[in-house]
Amino acid sequence: MERYSAWRLFREALNGHRGWTPAWRSPSPKRRYDAVIIGGGGHGLATAYYLAKNHGMTNVAVVERGWLGGGNTGRNTTIVRSNYYHRESARLYDFSVRLYESLSRELNYNVMFSQRGVITLAHSRHDLEVVARWAGAAQLHGVDAEMVSVDEIKRRIPLLDTSPSARFPVWGGLMQRRGGTARHDAVAWGYARAASRLGVDIIQNCEVTGFSRNERGRVVGVETSLGPIAAGVVGLAVAGHSTVLADLAGFRLPVTSYALQAFVSEPLKPVMDTVMLSLATGAYISQSDKGGLVIGGGLDLYPSYAQRGNLPTAQRVIGALADQMPALGRVRLLRQWAGIVDVVPDSSPILGETPVEGLFINCGWGTGGFKAIPAGGTLLAHHLATGEPHPLAEPFGLRRFATGALIDEAAASGIAH
């Protein structure tokens, strides 16, 4: 597999681009692998890559039900940040952001990590206080986070209505300069290519339909639509489908699947250079390198596996933005879609052991696991390879639900008067 570079592109141009080879191999599954990763999203692919790279395990397969990257990784609004409130979260996500910072070069694949800054808007006195506490916490965890003034916000986001008469007046905000966006598909493809190059088998259109267990109950393989595959250990990274797979393995999870809606506008010349999130309306927006305004902000608040668009959510989220950015009234929505996210009561991921021996999990990223892909992959790979949880993953085990040691990011933002 060739290395990508400008020089190589130039050489191929002379040759009509006939020399490029597959970005990843598509082999038929072998009978047995040392590790099988279920789920060809960012987390699954990254896990395979780090198994090979960090732990030298190359007899590894990623099995994906559909086309790789077709889950949430391929449909998310791509916000990357690490200014989390709790120490456990900040460490986890900042580890991820640091990996992102060198990811393109590491994978030899441009994932277009764009550290254009993420601004969270505070719309009231109370918001501002919450944000101050949050900024302080992030700083203490070693994460760059700073309070920004209304003037600074206006300068960075001219589209925003910052007048005091706005329905949601802007009182200030929290900014993480190292935050930004990345090209979502490229993250999946980059990991797939790099993993494949290291020997990992990537098997698409292969649905896991069951688990084979030995007499002690340990998982020793998976049953798939392409037949059984034996496995030394099995990693599960299927996001919205975590409970479906857990059911097959015979255990339950504190996870509910919801459709998260997303939107993109027609392509426009650059109109905003920062990522913006509003605490009051929940809407978030950034502009993709292609020019589309990429927008999120709404779960349909009932369990769903349908990936369907929904009108009330569009009206709420797009309406909020039309109000907060009055120039967008004439901009047009191009597409609306949804992804199925795995929501956990404390909105933190579940990492590590499952009640079934030999089966390890990475799930529960809910609406925010794209930013965590490099970290999530590293940690699951560590656990699969060493049998021990990575220290960063330890607080995120399933046990926390029984002990009460929840890592509740949502609770930290407080309740209204």
Partner 1 sequence: MLLIPCPWCGPRDEIEFRCGGQSHIQRPEPFDAVSDEAWADYLFTRINPKGVSYERWLHVFGCRQWFNVARDTRTHEIHAVYRMGEPKPDLRGVE
Partner 2 sequence: MSGRRLPGGGRIDRNRPLNFTFEGRPYRGYVGDTLASALLAAGVRVVGRSFKYHRPRGLLAAGVEEANALVQVGEGARAEVNLRATEVELHEGLTARAVNCWPSARFDVGAVNNLFGRLLPAGFYYKTFMWPDWRWFEPVIRRAAGLGRPSILPDPDRYETRHAHCDLLVVGSGPAGLAAALAASRRGERVMLVEQDPLPGGSLLWRPAQIDGRSGSDWAERAAAEIAAAPDALVLTRTTAIGYFDHNALALLERVAGAAGSPGPDHRPRQRLWSVRARRVVLAAGALERPLVFPGNDRPGVMLASAVSEYAARWAARAGDEAVVFTNNDSAYAAAHALLDTGGRVAAVVDSRPAPPARRTASLQARGVRTLLGASIVATHGRPALTGVTIRDAEGHDHRVAADVLAMSGGWNPTVHLFSQSGGALVWDGEQALFRPGRSAQAEVSVGAAAGEFGLSTAIEQGWRAGGGEGAPPLADAADERWTIGPLWRVPARGKAFVDFQNDVTADDIALSARENFVSVEHLKRYTTLGMAADQGKTSNVNALAIMAELTGRPIADVGTTRFRPPFTPATFGAIGGRARGELFQPLRRLPAHDRHVQAGAAFEEYGGWLRPAHYPGAGESAHAAEQREALAVRRAVGLFDGSPLGKIDVVGADAAEFLDRIYANTLSTLKVGRARYGLMLNEQGAVIDDGVTVRLAADHFLVGTTGGGADRIAAWLEEWLQCEWPDLDVLVAPVTTAWAVLTLSGPKARDVLDAAGVDMAIGEEDFPHMTFRECRVAGVPARISRVSFTGEVSFEVSVAADRACELWDRLRLAGAPFGLAPVGIEAWMLLRMEMGYLHLGADTDGATTPDDIGWGRVLKRRRDFVGRRSLTRPELLRKDRLQFVGVEAVDSTVPVPVGSHLRSPGLPSGSEGYVTSSGLSPTLGRGVALAMVRAGRSRYGEELLVITGEGRGRRVRVTVPGVRGPGGEPLDG
Assess 75 for contact with ligand FAD (CB under 6 A).
Answer: yes
Rounded to the nearest 5°, which phi and psi values hold at 25? Answer: -80, 155
Q: Which of 158, 319, 345, 387 binds partner 1 (CB under 8 A)?
A: 345
Phi and psi, residue 76, nearest 5°? -100, 165
Whole-number Å distance between alpha carbons of 2 and 187: 18
Nearest to 363 by CA among 242, 264, 263, 276: 242
306 binds partner 1 (CB under 8 A): yes
Could you say which of ligand FAD, ligand FMN, partner 2, none residue 321 binds, taking C-beta under 5 to 8 angstroms by partner kind?
Answer: partner 2
Among 35, 38, 130, 174, interactor with ligand FAD by CB under 6 A: 38
Least distance (Å) from ligand FMN to the CB of residue 156? 20
Cα separation, 89 vs 106, whole angstroms: 24
- Please report whether residue 29 would count as binding ligand FAD according to CB under 6 A: no
Give the one entry of ligand FAD, ligand FMN, partner 2, none that residue 294 binds, where binding means its C-beta sits below a cut-off of 5 to 8 angstroms depending on kind: ligand FMN
**Rounded CA gap, 254 and 173, in Å?**
33
CB of 264 to ligand FMN, least distance (A): 4
d(CA 77, CA 277) in angstroms, rounded, equals: 12
CA dist 176 and 174 (Å) reads 7
Touching ligand FAD, residues 252-281 (CB under 6 A): 260, 262
Strand partners, 173: 121, 148
Nearer Cβ to ligand FMN, position 119 or 264? 264
Phi, psi of 91 (to 5 degrees): -65, -45
Distance of CA 381 to the CA centre of its chain: 17
Using the contact rule CB under 8 A, the part of the chain among 162-170, 174-182, 230-238, 308-316 near partner 1 is 308-316
- 377 counts as binding ligand FAD under rule CB under 6 A: no
Query: 376, 325, 374, 324: which is closest to 352 by C-alpha?
Result: 376
**Taking CB under 6 A as the criterion, which residues in 288-317 touch ligand FMN?**
288, 290, 292, 294, 307
- Tell which positions 16-75 bind ligand FMN, by CB under 6 A: 74-75
Using the rule CB under 6 A, is 173 a contact of ligand FAD?
no
What element of type H or E holds 265?
strand 256-265
Q: What is the DSSP string of 283-312?
A: -EEEE-TTSPEEEEEEEEEEE-------HH
CB of 260 to ligand FMN, least distance (A): 11
Residue closest to ligand FAD, measured at CB: 41
Partner in contact with 75, chosen from partner 2, partner 1, ligand FMN, none, beta carbon below 5 to 8 Å by kind = ligand FMN
Question: In 3-state terms, what secondary structure has residue 209?
Answer: strand
- The binding site for ligand FMN (CB under 6 A) comprises 74-76, 78, 184, 264, 288, 290, 292, 294, 307, 334-335, 337
- The binding site for partner 1 (CB under 8 A) comprises 241, 243-244, 252-257, 301-306, 308, 310-312, 345, 401-404
